[in-house]
Amino acid sequence: MHFLAAAAALATAQATHIGFNYGGTFTDGSAKQQTDFVAEFSRAKSLQGTRGEFTSARLYTMIQAGTADTPISAIPAAIDTQTTLLLGLWASAGKDNFNNEVIALTSAIDQYGLAFTSLIVGISIGSEDLYRTSPTGVINLSGAGAEPMELVSYIKQVRSAIAGTAASGALIGHVDTWTAWVNGTNDPVISACDWLGMDAYPYFQNTIANGINVGNATFFEAYDNTVGASQGKAVWVTETGWPVSGPQENQAVASMQNAETYWKETGCALFGKMNTWWYVLQDAAPTTPNPSFGVIGADLNGTPLYDLTCSNVAVTSASSTAASSSATSSAVTSASSATMPASASGANTESLSDAVPGHSQTSPVSASLSPSQTYQTTPITIAACSSSICSSTSITALSTTTAAAPSGSTCPASISGEYQYPHLIVPVSSANPDKAYGTQYSATISPDVSSVFNFDLPASYAGETCSLVFLFPEQAALKHSAFTFNGQGGISANQLMSPATEATTYNSMPAAAVQGIGKVDSVSPGNSYVVASSECGAGARQSFELTSTGGLNLAYFQDWNPTPIGAFITVC
Ligand SMILES: *[C@@H]1O[C@H](CO)[C@@H](O)[C@H](O)[C@H]1NC(C)=O
Ligand SMILES: *[C@@H]1O[C@H](CO)[C@@H](O)[C@H](O)[C@H]1NC(C)=O
Ligand SMILES: *[C@@H]1O[C@H](CO)[C@@H](O)[C@H](O)[C@H]1NC(C)=O
């Protein structure tokens, strides 16, 4: 046996894998055969608008549909078409079924050898099993799941099953919704994994403002929260997408136009940058599900339902507004080109594609936040902005709260009630006054650096009181976040005339509408503060700068997940 050579031949040595998810059956339940998988994997590489970079396939099961434990015919199809594989073993149907998944895996290794194992990017033990046992999964009748320790035991079983085979050294992980990854009860699964696969669908997050305008920001919030919980393990994007048709979920409208926007904003930011398996190449054969996520329709050889090129990325994003659109545009353009694969340098278009018949074993699962975990993606703020989203000129400063101390009633300094999470956090530095740091999930407040927070306040807050609160728990209370603090000083807040963008620098930061709208002279861990309060500026995007006073030097990962830390807006 040549273990080392075999391990070195795994596809994991390659840079970045891009592809689609592939189920084992068509929508009528009939099994896909090798010729079907060959057709799908080939179509994925030939999609109009792409350059043949969709060369990886994520599978949900090792077992050929309709058999007990025969290896899935996607494997010889992948060998024929040189498609790399993120393998999956179904883990929610009990121990006996899982044993059959392992038999199919080891049989395939024996049967196909290195031709197969050299294509393996990773092996997922289960798919959304933790989501299905969560309250949201149960409410959604999502089917049987698996408990964390059950998955840990399956992971160990597969590690020993592949030890000493041509697949030894394959990276073992698990795929779940991002909401499962940030649930601390599931940490033992993270510890047992080499990598985490994250499924996230802003479309399904119907307990928050989830229109396409915040789709990209919502996805990356989920991604960053997963990274924050990952214990340093790699995070791969195993499912995301936006439906071309289907019901409206809160503000999320299923349409080809929105699917294209999501592809261009989120897909194009991912492709070539991190391992990504899009949902989905084709889910409408022979019948169209509701909602439907397919990049192509019922005809595998039909043209894609929307434009898949990755140039000309739409300028509008959740965190940019009409204000300074030219600056935003150039920032987006450079970010987009930075994500191009090296092999694409010089080309201005990048597209993806892949076509595959629908899969029936799983459908995309809601990544909805449970009610107790709600964090909003809607605008918030303390200021008065009477109509929809404030433009830079329509934001008016709080007229009454100009003093340091909050006046009038204040909301509790906690997010136990209705609250808003910042949708953009940009640091600005007086030491690097022309540098745009872009949006961050961590905030820094130091003598040189302040952080600007954008909040979007829903129109439903009209007439209510809003408070800008700052939550600063003890380090020991934080599960997924962390901070560094020099133990001195306080914070002061300015309300800005217009929202910040990802292109905002110290020099280009909008002027303060209210300098010193609130302050806390001394902050220390284990405390929560109401920094400022006022009538909510309902239906408006509002921007606040938090600056250091008294030498404070604080950096923290903004997190809503218990225990919450950072700047929020509460309403009461
Ligand atoms: C957290 O995970 C555990 C174990 O998977 C699950 O039982 C529980 O319901 C989850 N909690 C939430 C709020 O999803
Ligand atoms: C989507 O968000 C990511 C992460 O913040 C960013 O890199 C990308 O440029 C965004 N896309 C657009 C079009 O704004
Ligand atoms: C899942 O349940 C949540 C909470 O009730 C709900 O908001 C969401 O719409 C459901 N998702 C799906 C896909 O049905």
Give the pLDDT confidence of 447-463 residue by residue, as tens digits: 999 999 998 888 888 88
Please give the residue that has the higher pLDDT: either 541 or 384.
541
Q: Give the least confident one: 267-276, 344-353, 364-373, 481-490.
A: 344-353
As a whole number, mean pLDDT of residues 87-109 equals 96
Of the candidate ranges 84-88, 356-360, 535-539, the one whose mean pLDDT is the lowest: 356-360
Decide if 106 contacts 161 (C-beta within 8 A): yes
Q: Which ligand is nearest to the Cα of residue 152, counting in written order?
A: 1
Structure tokens belonging to residue 260: 């294209």
Distance, in Å, from the CA atom of 210 to the CA atom of 518, rounded to the nearest integer, reads: 30
Angle of helix 74-81 versus helix 34-45 axis, rounded to 10: 40
157 lines ligand 3 (CB under 6 A): no
- Give the SS3 label for residue 31: strand
pLDDT at residue 41, rounded to an integer: 98
Which residue has the CA at smallest separation from atom 6 of ligand 2?
269
> E strands, 52-112, where?
56-59, 84-89
Q: How confident is the model at residue 306 (pLDDT cuts 50, 70, 90)?
A: very high
Minimum-distance ligand 1 atom for the alpha carbon of 183? 1
Atom 9 of ligand 1: nearest residue by CA position: 134
475 pLDDT band, cuts 50/70/90, is: confident
User: CA 70: distance to chain centroid?
Assistant: 34
Cβ–ligand 1 distance for 130 under 6 Å, the answer yes
Phi/psi at 505 (5° precision): -120, 175
Give the start-to-end residue ranges of the domains of the chain: 2-359, 392-571
Match 């993120």 to its residue by tokens. Answer: 86
Q: What is the pLDDT of residue 11?
A: 62
pLDDT band at 377 (very low <50, low <70, confident <90, very high): very low
**8 Å CB contact between 508 and 324:** yes
pLDDT digits (tens, 9 = 90+) for 312-345: 443 332 232 222 222 222 222 222 222 222 222 2
Q: Is the CB of 148 under 6 A from ligand 1?
A: yes
Ligand 3 site, residue 206, Cβ cutoff 6 A: yes
**Which is catalytic among the residues 128, 150, 260, 265?**
128
pLDDT band at 10 (very low <50, low <70, confident <90, very high): low
Buried (b) or exposed (e) across 229-251, using 16+ Cβ within 10 A?
bbeebbbbbbbbbbbbbbeebeb
Residues 283/291, Cβ–Cβ less than 8 Å: no
Q: Which residue has the tokens 């309902």?
A: 538
Atom of ligand 1 nearest to the CA of 148: 5
- Residue 366 CB–ligand 3 contact under 6 Å: yes
The mean per-residue pLDDT over the stretch 49-74 comes to 96
Query: Residue ranges of the alpha helices (H) in 22-93?
Result: 34-45, 74-81
Of residues 2 and 478, which shows the higher confidence score?
A: 478
The CATH number of 392-571, from 1.25.60, 2.60.40, 2.60.120, 1.10.287, is: 2.60.120
CB count in 10 Å sphere of residue 3: 13
Count of CB atoms situated within 10 Å of the CB of 51? 18
Q: Of 509, 488, 479, which is closest to residue 554 (Cα–Cα)?
A: 488
126 and 90 Cβ atoms separated by less than 8 Å: yes
CA distance 306 to 263: 9
User: Which residue's CA is the closest to the ligand 3 atom numbered 3?
Assistant: 136
- Catalytic residue chosen out of the listed positions 53, 239, 350, 502: 239
Q: pLDDT tens, 183-213?
A: 999 999 999 999 999 999 999 999 899 999 9
Is ligand 1 within 6 A of the CB of residue 134? yes
DSSP 387-403: SSS--TTT-B--SS--S
- CB-count burial class (<10 Å; 0-12, 13-18, 19+) for 454: buried
Rounded Cα distance, 135 and 122, in Å:
29
The pair of structure tokens assigned to 369 is 């936040």
Q: Which of 296-305, 320-329, 475-484 shows the lowest mean pLDDT across its residues?
A: 320-329
Phi, psi of 198 (to 5 degrees): -110, 125
Residue nearest to atom 11 of ligand 2 (CA): 265
Residue 356: pLDDT band (50, 70, 90) is very low
Residue appearing with tokens 């690097």: 432
Among the ranges given (35-49, 56-70, 354-368), the one the predictor scored with the smallest mean pLDDT: 354-368
Question: Using an 8 Å Cβ cutoff, are 158 and 102 in contact?
Answer: yes
Report the pLDDT averaged over residues 130-141. 85
Look at strands 276-278 and 554-557 and give their pairing: unpaired
Mean of the per-residue pLDDT values for the chain?
81
Q: How many Å lie between the centroid of ligand 2 and the Cα of residue 239?
A: 17
Alpha carbon separation from 392 to 10, 385, 389, 506, 546 (Å, rounded): 53, 10, 10, 17, 19
Separation between Cα atoms, residue 563 and residue 208, nearest integer Å: 20
Mean pLDDT of the 333-362 span: 25
Using CA atoms, how far apart are residues 191 and 155, in angstroms rounded to an integer? Answer: 11
Atom of ligand 3 at shortest distance to CA of 371?
4
- Using DSSP, state whether 568 is helix, strand or coil: strand
- Nearest ligand by distance to the CA of 136: 3
The residue nearest atom 14 of ligand 1, judged by CA position, is 134
Does the N-terminal peptide bond of residue 291 adopt cis geometry, omega within 30 degrees of 0?
yes
Of the listed ranges 142-156, 170-184, 228-242, 363-377, the one predicted with least confidence: 363-377
**Confidence band (pLDDT; 50, 70, 90) for 424?**
confident
Is 53 an annotated catalytic residue? no
Which residue in the block uniquely carries the two structure tokens 């300094």? 413
Residue 363: the pLDDT is 36
Task: State what percent of residues in the chain have pLDDT above 90.
Answer: 61
Dist. CA 36–CA 44, nearest whole Å: 12
Find out if CATH 3.40.50.1000 is the number for domain 2-359.
Answer: no
CA–centroid distance, residue 368 to ligand 3 (Å): 6
pLDDT, position 501: 87
Asked if domains 2-359 and 392-571 share a fold, the reply is no
Q: Which of 40-54, 344-358, 409-423, 463-477 has the highest mean pLDDT?
A: 40-54
For tokens 């949006």, the residue is: 439
pLDDT tens digits for 13-46?
A: 457 999 999 999 999 999 999 999 999 999 999 9
Q: Taking the CB of residue 463, how many other CB atoms lie within 10 A of it? A: 8
Q: Whose CA is nearest to atom 8 of ligand 2?
A: 269
Residues 505-529: tens digit of each pLDDT: 999 999 988 888 899 999 999 999 9
If one counts every other C-beta atom within 10 angstroms of the C-beta of residue 5, the result is 10
Predicted pLDDT of residue 141: 78
State in Å: Cα 319 to ligand 3 middle: 26
How many Å lie between the centroid of ligand 1 and the Cα of residue 234? 22
Determine the Cα angle at 66 with ends 65 and 70, to 5°.
70
What confidence tens digit (pLDDT) does each residue in 392-404 have? 222 222 222 222 3
Question: Distance (Å, rounded) from C-alpha 245 to C-alpha 288?
Answer: 9
Contact by Cβ (8 Å): 354, 281: yes
Closest by CA to 281, choosing from 32, 42, 12, is: 42
| C-alpha pair distances (Å), 18 with each of 265, 309, 313, 341, 358 | 16, 14, 19, 11, 18
